[in-house]
Chain A
Amino acid sequence: MPDFTDKLRPSQPDGPTTLARERAQSSISIDELGNHLLSSDGFLQRQARILSILQREPLLSKDKQQNLSRPERFKLGLARAKLLRRLVDRYQWSYDDYKMAEYLVSDVSPYFLHLEMFITTVREQASEAQRAHWMPLIESWRIIGAYAQTELGHGSNVRGLELEARWDPQTQEFILHSPTLTASKWWNGSLGRIANHAIVVAQLLLPKPGSSDQYVSHGPHPFIVQVRDMKTHQPLEGVVVGDIGPKYGYITMDNAYMLFNKFRIPHSAMLSRYSNVDPETGIYTKPAQPAVVYGSLTYVRAQIVHHARLVLARAVTVAVRYTAVRRQFKDRDSDGSGPEMSVLDYPTVQIRILPLLATTFALHYTGLAMRTVYENARQDVERGEFHSLAHMHSMSSGLKSLCTMLAADGIETCRRALGGHGFGGGSGLIELNNDYLSKPTVEGDNWMITQQVASYLIKKMTTAVQAPHTAGSDELDSRFKEFIRNGVSNSRTAYRVLEKDEDIAKGFELRATALAYDAYQQRVLKKRSWNSLLIQLHKLSKAQSKSILVREFFTALSTDNTLSSSIKTIMWHIYRLFALHTMENEGYEFFRCGAVSQSDIDILPGRIQDLMAKIRPHAVKLVDSWMIPDYLLDSALGRYDGRVYEDLYNRAHRLNPLNEITFNPNYWEHEIVKGSGDDGSGILSKL
């Protein structure tokens, strides 16, 4: 309906004018930098191709989704997931094409677990015969599966799971049984309403030899189990399964609870590539190489690390574009004429956003490096060599913890830097924030898994201390031995971090090494309890992972010979900003181990501000280079064209279902919707 507001325009200078000016003041070639970042595996080309298909589908419009109730939003999510799967057939999409579509639609798919953990587990842990039976059913989607490991009372500690799989030698079946309420499976994605099959992880209980009523636990094992009827989709007798309810995010995922009551499954249900129960004798055969199991977890963590850059880039894109467009107050040192200042010109805004912009690039190069390490380790394993697994496991744990924290906190920092509108649905950061905040907890809680890193580093340090004068077996070992040879005190000559770029990376490594040595002293020499050291160990893991981020960034820039010099210069500034800003926040640790002098630490704040001033003119083009489409951003504030206020108004005015309802505001009248004549019982009856 037309009204007088149709003719109103934002005050000048408006968003498009401002962003055009921003883009004109930087010489960066977006295509060059964008291709450098995202073209090596065809990412950008794929993004463009898939995007054009998705935008033709009305079901994939994101306009009103934030208003829906949980049941309605879930239905929408399922409808979209079905559509995407049908598009695979229609356009003959590859797996990467499909993943791209999922990324752009940005719903967590209720089929996610079917496509990931369910299929992967069967592929990796099923015997040949089991694979021959199940894989065709799974790949043709005739059955839909999930992965049920965590329980109501048990998360990270897999050994503590309570669900039992008890072997019955008479019938040669396993009996799945939940002895307590805390044994209920919980949080298992795709299982609440969608899957009809699941990998169920349960404690394997076998009769004690020579006893008829005593059992021995052999630890958690995976079983493949049908849980719903293939026709009615209702749970089978003896199974209780459902969705666990509303969450902070992941609204389109049916995370599940599931309980079993003496539910019988055949012998063939136990996935038996690595371990087996002989159906005749009931004798258990042990896993051949348990390390392989954590190979797939490492893969998931490596993926998370690699993806973090795009998540953060999305938030930073919105923040940079909107703070460039948004104006507030005049510069108090100016003559008072001219418009209000662009918010991005305030150092208090820059200090929140520009280091995060720098972080996107740091995450990028480390993500690439993590992939390479993973590929190499995988090849080693295939050759039967397992020595690189521990290193990769430690690296992926530490980086998963650090990178997801940087991205999750970064999204929220960006959102708050947007001022009031950051709280609105038009910011585009709310669903992103809600969904991504699961990442610090899933696939290993960020606080828990840092112990694995620390434990690995302490072990390495213990080895290094024993023979500091021998040649190092790997990069870490050499670094540790050099540290010991140089004497462990902090009276070394500080690195010149303000002058030499490599010294920055060395400074980060020295800090991590010194903390590793501290931890070794406390734990191995002074025998301090593990628990009393946890905080220190967490800091150690973070320091180690940050040294990787800085070193990989440095290596990428110093070995690159493709970037033009104008971009290269800016990338070096970005490297320095990322590293020095991190260093300033943790200045005490760098100073304490002698990596940096106090006078340099005192200069850091000024240096950081100088770097921000150098990067500031390029900020809009730097985020443009991440090439995040408006469809994915779904943000009035972060639009490429800068039409921020028009879009916010359009969303409020035209896309908001609440404005179709007229309320009765008088408290003495029960009626809620004007003219409905409802005496209030309508609302009550739904409670």
Chain B
Amino acid sequence: MPSPPPDWVKALKPAGPQGSELLAQERAQSNVNVEKLSEYLHTKAALERQDKLVALLQPEKVFDKSQNHSLGRVERLQRSLAKAKRLQQIAEQQKWNMEELHTANELIGEPTPYGLHASMFLVTLREQGTPEQHKLFLERAQKYQIIGCYAQTELGHGSNVRGLETTATWNSDDKTFTINSPTLTASKWWIGSLGRTANHAVVMAQLFIDGKSFGPHPFVVQVRDLETHQPLENVYVGDIGPKFGYNTMDNGFLLFNKVKIPHVNMLARFSRIDKDTNKYLRPALPTLVYGTLTWVRSNIVLQAGGVLARGVTIATRYAAVRRQFQDRDAEPHAGENQVLNYKMVQVRLLPLLASMYALHFTGRGMMALYEQNQSRMKAASSPGQDSRGAGPEELRAGADLLADLHATSCGLKALASTTAGEGLEVCRRACGGHGYSSYSGIGPYYSDYLPTLTWEGDNYMLTQQVARYLLKSARAVLSGKSADNDTSRILRNYLNRRDKGASFDVLEEDADIVAAFAWRTAHLTFEALKHRDAEKRSWNSLLVDFWRLSTAHSQYLVVKNFYEAVSSPQLASALDQETKSLMHSLFRLYALHTLEREAAEFFSSGAVTVRQITLTRTTAVMKLLDEIRPHAVRLVDAWAIPDWQLDSSLGRSDGQVYEDLFRRASQENPVNDLVFDPYPWNKALLKNEPAKSKL
């Protein structure tokens, strides 16, 4: 690393007022009890766990983050594997539970090559394997004696699982399966942990018996030798190359040239082949698979709040420290104004601050709903649902509860991850020039988060499932056979009041805000139904309407969940009056800012008048920004993200923004080790190295 700067540089301080003073001032002007609010958001146990793990992990050299953004792909992956190994060693020594391991992974701040082994491989073996298969695969996998991944998507096939091309053909003569890749587009692709790390994979392949296809099924396939770690014969596997982010993960490709595997390698808890009769036995409980996906999506919603919180924490603290221009209306010599005082900065950051709370409470609400439905769902689901495309809106009987939660989770996953992903970029840009530096901590994190917008269901594809569910519910309401749930309730309410009109007082009554969002969803639902059923428009031509409908419905759910959370007795008893009313302000800001952005849909559905929208825009939102502004720093402090996790010069909790940027640039930047020869006609690139070059 570069030599330390001369003494005269070490002696320099940033121009006053110092970042630390500005943040102290910010914290002094608000009475929000940060500790109480943190505990309410995360629980005391989670905060203590976080503190304990930061203290344990941060001092270890292997977890150092300073070079992350300067390294090449190959070296980054090597280091990431070293981190993953060390983490697993500590986990074993300290007998960590899942939550501890999860928190530790969050803190080290990058996906590691063990990622898919620890999540999807173990989960799939556990949920889809028989007791015999648990003994054979799961037990060894839990001890990391075999390391695996989950190989579903292919080079030519993502969201449409039915379109997968990899085949698994049953050989009745020797009771084996032949796994084969018939085309190049059949290559497994994007498979995390597979590229260089895993020696096993759960492979999703089209099952063929006697020339007949039975759709995609999971098979456990060994892909690398346990001794040499080289690919087995007729297996072709490797890493797919550099990406936008996620470069510490070895996403892999995988091709098979007629590889035979034994009968026991087909995961058989839900469907299997009878060895003796060669008959396929149908899935017993296919909806449970659905359930896992729903759980994963609920988790994404909950996490989205935390993801956004990282960007908002950094941008808010930095906007409090950074000063630019004098206020045009201020006294001369007032000094430059904190950027956070600019309305143009507030209108970008504070609604996101409100969003992170909104998503957090919505995620909480969904997890609760999921837990509630879990037991009822097992009883209510029934066999016979084996066809699933992206579109069909007819649902099979017996799965209503699941459908409700499933539709909810699809739409919210799409909205929440889009809000968080795009919100991070807004935060990065709000940091001005320094937001472009990797040391801002936002850019690299944004790059790592972006795949969430695509995986577990592409955000645009998912919106069809929401629309399908809403149309079905609307038909049921019209035929008088609606279920007793919230969706049916808002649709019925709309039908009953449609003639009278809405007249919601969104500027004064919080409950009316929720009602206006419900009204807009119901209106759009019946409009879409008219297009589909009365005008017989094609499914494809309605996709844009469906996407709008899904967004509207999900925004309604967030507004509703947020409202219920801030009005709940739990919140009232946990927080003081001032903080509680601030939570209400955040709710209003989220809701009214959304309403204003989607103004056209609100007034054309008749939920609000143009006058109300004008007032929302010119008065209500402005007032809320003023109300929340003094508390902004404390509201992000309450999220309790450790500095080590933020890994940001701009977002440091002590406000030493400029000292840290300078320290990293001058002390942790390997480019400054190189002295170049700048002249074009000298082919030598460096002054301090012989002319030989790797290029």
User: Chain B: how many interface residues by the 8 Å CB criterion?
Assistant: 161
For A179, list chain B residues within 8 Å (CB).
Answer: 12, 15
Contact indicator B89/A668 (Cβ below 8 Å):
yes
For A178, list chain B residues within 8 Å (CB).
Answer: 12
A673 to B197, CA, bound (A): 11
Interchain residue pairs A-B with the least CB separation, the first 3: A69-B72, A85-B680, A246-B69
A657 to B250, CA, bound (A): 12
Which of the 9-residue segments B275-283, B357-365, B485-493, B667-675 touches chain A? B667-675
The yes or no answer to B96 lying at the interface (CB within 8 A) is no
Which of the 9-residue segments B75-83, B205-213, B577-585 touches chain A? B75-83
Contact indicator A259/B89 (Cβ below 8 Å):
no
User: Chain A: how many interface residues by the 8 Å CB criterion?
Assistant: 156
Contact indicator B343/A4 (Cβ below 8 Å):
no
The verdict on A328 contacting B159 (CB below 8 Å), with A11-B165, A588-B600 known, is yes
Q: How far is the CB of A111 from chain B (nearest CB, A)?
A: 8
Closest to B66 in A: A687
A649-678 contact mask (Cβ, 8 Å, vs B): 1 or 0: 101110111110111111111101110000
A156 to B344, CA, bound (A): 15
Which of the 9-residue segments A388-396, A525-533, A561-569 touches chain B? A525-533
Contact indicator A70/B70 (Cβ below 8 Å):
yes
The yes or no answer to B61 lying at the interface (CB within 8 A) is yes
Q: How far is the CB of A181 from chain B (nearest CB, A)?
A: 4
Residues facing B in A63-88 (CB within 8 A) are 66-76, 78-79, 81-83, 85-86
Contact indicator A683/B234 (Cβ below 8 Å):
no
Contact indicator B680/A11 (Cβ below 8 Å):
no
For A69, list chain B residues within 8 Å (CB).
Answer: 70-72, 75, 670
The yes or no answer to A200 lying at the interface (CB within 8 A) is no
CB < 8 Å neighbour of A67 from B5, B72, B392: B72
For A438, list chain B residues within 8 Å (CB).
Answer: 436
Contact indicator B184/A59 (Cβ below 8 Å):
no
Which of the 9-residue segments B24-32, B366-374, B511-519, B687-695 touches chain A? B687-695
Contact indicator B236/A658 (Cβ below 8 Å):
no
Contact indicator A665/B158 (Cβ below 8 Å):
no
Contact indicator A423/B443 (Cβ below 8 Å):
no
Q: How far is the CB of B289 from chain A (nearest CB, A)?
A: 19
CB < 8 Å neighbour of B325 from A157, A196, A598: A157
Contact indicator B12/A259 (Cβ below 8 Å):
yes
Contact indicator A659/B666 (Cβ below 8 Å):
no
Contact indicator A5/B255 (Cβ below 8 Å):
yes
Contact indicator A247/B436 (Cβ below 8 Å):
yes
For A427, list chain B residues within 8 Å (CB).
Answer: 244
For B246, list chain A residues within 8 Å (CB).
Answer: 423
The verdict on A193 contacting B14 (CB below 8 Å), with A67-B242, A332-B391 known, is no
Contact indicator A538/B344 (Cβ below 8 Å):
yes
Closest to A604 in B: B600
List 14 A-B pairs, Cβ < 8 Å.
A67-B72, A78-B685, A150-B433, A156-B324, A180-B15, A182-B14, A244-B665, A329-B390, A412-B425, A420-B158, A441-B435, A534-B342, A665-B197, A674-B228
For B187, list chain A residues within 8 Å (CB).
Answer: 5, 8, 649
For B58, list chain A residues within 8 Å (CB).
Answer: none
Which of the 9-residue segments B103-111, B169-177, B538-546 touches chain A? B538-546
Q: How far is the CB of A518 from chain B (nearest CB, A)?
A: 9
Contact indicator A233/B676 (Cβ below 8 Å):
yes
Closest to A237 in B: B6
The yes or no answer to B501 lying at the interface (CB within 8 A) is no
The yes or no answer to A292 lying at the interface (CB within 8 A) is no
For A669, list chain B residues within 8 Å (CB).
Answer: 85
Q: How far is the CB of A259 from chain B (nearest CB, A)?
A: 6
Most buried by A among B153, B343, B391: B343
Contact indicator A194/B676 (Cβ below 8 Å):
yes
CB < 8 Å neighbour of A683 from B8, B82, B348, B603: B82
Contact indicator A246/B78 (Cβ below 8 Å):
no
CB < 8 Å neighbour of A79 from B71, B78, B685: B685
For B113, list chain A residues within 8 Å (CB).
Answer: 663, 665
Contact indicator B72/A347 (Cβ below 8 Å):
no
The yes or no answer to B101 lying at the interface (CB within 8 A) is no
Contact indicator B454/A70 (Cβ below 8 Å):
no
Contact indicator B199/A79 (Cβ below 8 Å):
no
Contact indicator A233/B185 (Cβ below 8 Å):
no
For A598, list chain B residues within 8 Å (CB).
Answer: 604
Residues facing B in A532-560 (CB within 8 A) are 532-536, 538
The yes or no answer to B253 lying at the interface (CB within 8 A) is yes
Closest to A84 in B: B680
A683 to B62, CA, bound (A): 8
Residues facing A in B230-245 (CB within 8 A) are 230, 234, 236, 238-245
Contact indicator B658/A182 (Cβ below 8 Å):
yes
CB < 8 Å neighbour of B324 from A160, A184, A329, A534: A160
A686 to B62, CA, bound (A): 10
A246 to B244, CA, bound (A): 15
CB < 8 Å neighbour of A591 from B89, B437, B610, B658: B610
For B443, list chain A residues within 8 Å (CB).
Answer: 247-248
A680 to B8, CA, bound (A): 39
Contact indicator A423/B436 (Cβ below 8 Å):
no
Contact indicator B156/A10 (Cβ below 8 Å):
yes
Contact indicator B229/A664 (Cβ below 8 Å):
yes
The yes or no answer to B384 lying at the interface (CB within 8 A) is no
Residues facing B in A349-382 (CB within 8 A) are 349, 351-352
The yes or no answer to A648 lying at the interface (CB within 8 A) is yes
Contact indicator B62/A242 (Cβ below 8 Å):
no
Contact indicator A242/B678 (Cβ below 8 Å):
no
The yes or no answer to B458 lying at the interface (CB within 8 A) is yes
The yes or no answer to B88 lying at the interface (CB within 8 A) is yes
Closest to A419 in B: B158
A79 to B683, CA, bound (A): 8
B175-205 contact mask (Cβ, 8 Å, vs A): 1 or 0: 0000001111111011000011111000000
Contact indicator B678/A195 (Cβ below 8 Å):
yes
Q: How far is the CB of A179 from chain B (nearest CB, A)?
A: 8
Residues facing B in A12-65 (CB within 8 A) are 59
A180 to B387, CA, bound (A): 68
The yes or no answer to A192 lying at the interface (CB within 8 A) is yes
A662 to B672, CA, bound (A): 31
The yes or no answer to B450 lying at the interface (CB within 8 A) is yes
The yes or no answer to B614 lying at the interface (CB within 8 A) is yes
Contact indicator A155/B433 (Cβ below 8 Å):
yes
Q: How far is the CB of B523 from chain A (nearest CB, A)?
A: 12
Contact indicator A153/B15 (Cβ below 8 Å):
yes
A280-300 contact mask (Cβ, 8 Å, vs B): 1 or 0: 000000000000000000000
The verdict on A332 contacting B389 (CB below 8 Å), with A11-B186, A667-B84 known, is yes
The verdict on A248 contacting B436 (CB below 8 Å), with A329-B163, A609-B541 known, is yes
For B687, list chain A residues within 8 Å (CB).
Answer: 232-233
The yes or no answer to A410 lying at the interface (CB within 8 A) is no
Contact indicator A8/B85 (Cβ below 8 Å):
no
Contact indicator A535/B541 (Cβ below 8 Å):
no
For B670, list chain A residues within 8 Å (CB).
Answer: 69-71
Contact indicator B658/A153 (Cβ below 8 Å):
yes
The yes or no answer to B274 lying at the interface (CB within 8 A) is no
Residues facing B in A302-350 (CB within 8 A) are 326-333, 340-341, 345-349
Q: How far is the CB of B545 from chain A (nearest CB, A)?
A: 7
Q: How far is the CB of A508 from chain B (nearest CB, A)?
A: 17
For A150, list chain B residues within 8 Å (CB).
Answer: 433
A187 to B72, CA, bound (A): 23
For A182, list chain B residues within 8 Å (CB).
Answer: 14-15, 658
Contact indicator B70/A261 (Cβ below 8 Å):
no
The yes or no answer to A266 lying at the interface (CB within 8 A) is no
Contact indicator A245/B184 (Cβ below 8 Å):
no
Residues facing B in A167-223 (CB within 8 A) are 178-184, 186-187, 192-196
For B238, list chain A residues within 8 Å (CB).
Answer: 652-653, 656, 658-659
Contact indicator B89/A667 (Cβ below 8 Å):
yes
Q: How far is the CB of B62 from chain A (nearest CB, A)?
A: 6
A76 to B241, CA, bound (A): 19
For B37, list chain A residues within 8 Å (CB).
Answer: none
Residues facing A in B577-628 (CB within 8 A) are 599-600, 603-604, 610, 613-614, 618, 622
